Amino acid sequence: MMRLDRFLCEVHMGSRSQVKEWIKKGMVQADGLTVLKPEYKVDEENTQITFRGRLLSFSKFAYYVLNKPAGMVTSNRDPRSPVVMELLKDVPQKNLFPVGRLDKDAEGLLLITNDGELAHRLLAPKSHVPKTYFLRLKEAFTKGQEKRLSEGVDIGEKKLCLPAETKLISEQEIFITVWEGKFHQVKRMMKAAGNEVLFLKRVAFGSLALDETLASGAYRPLTDEEINQLKKDADYDVGK
């Protein structure tokens, strides 16, 4: 059982102060009855909650996409630097964490969730979920470098990296897609290919693409369609 105002927050209807006001105005029903008290207890799994006639469904898991700014560590806490989870301090869910990592100086798409099984499946080496990055390079990107990356390069691991796909944007700017998540992988791959990354921004993770309207440091909840597509990427039961 949980308070009605907390239920509304956890299904992303608004802030705690907003939903309390809506409840007091008679805009929320529980099993067909108008409830005027925010502290009213509901069974989040079985009580039918409607807001202005719209039926709301509860999930114990939450999923957000964050546009990470440079200068923040991809972690829940760090004693020396600001961390990305500070940007989500107002969300109602607990136990959220970033899925995978972006370097402190990197920017772009981070998936934030409390769904540990999905995170594990997305990051598992055998899953080979693609990750696409925009890169600005120190030198012009050459056909030779493209060929080396497409064949898989040696970055000092036991095995060569899986072949990467690249798309030229300008002389020193490319998109690169990789299917692994090794430490500093993209930077190490480019160095092995004979170039250097000056700027890195993740623009896609599996089927999830960075929303260009999402400002740096901003976040939003994923849509049901985006969540289901990510679960398909990870070969995860979409009914969960």
Is 224 tagged catalytic? no
The answer to whether residues 108 and 67 touch, using CB atoms and an 8 Å cutoff, is: yes
Q: Identify the active-site residue in 5, 31, 78, 103.
A: 103
142-149 contacts, C-beta under 8 A, 24 or more apart: 142/194, 144/194, 145/190, 145/193, 145/194, 145/195, 148/192, 148/193, 148/194, 149/176, 149/189, 149/190, 149/193
Q: Which residues pair with 67 in a beta bridge?
A: 109
Active-site positions read: 103
